[in-house]
Amino acid sequence: MEKTVIIEGMTCGHCAGRVKKEIEAIAGVESADVSADEGKAVVEMTNEVDDEKLAAAVEEAGYEFIKVS
């Protein structure tokens, strides 16, 4: 199961690392491939994760959640 999260405000690898850490801390998330250049995170999940949890993780890292596609 996969979701793509669109994120605004990341400018470097360190930014992407912060988002990755927050998203991967969510129960049910297997991994997150985060790209500051593309402004997105591709999230692999073992079971369904609410979009609200993904949004909260992005905002906790200090960036703006745009949408899940």
Other Cβ atoms closer than 10 A to 8 = 10
Strand arrangement, sheet containing 29-35: 29-35, 40-45, 2-8, 64-68
- pTM greater than the 0.85 cutoff: yes
Domain tally, the chain: 1
Q: Residue 66: its pLDDT value, please?
A: 98
| Domain, as residue range, for 54 | 2-68
E runs forming strands in 9-52:
29-35, 40-45
- The CATH number that applies at residue 30 is 3.30.70.100
Using CA atoms, how far apart are residues 9 and 57, in angstroms rounded to an integer? 14
pLDDT tens digits for range 34-61: 999 999 999 999 999 999 999 999 999 9
How many whole angstroms separate alpha carbon 62 and alpha carbon 48?
A: 24
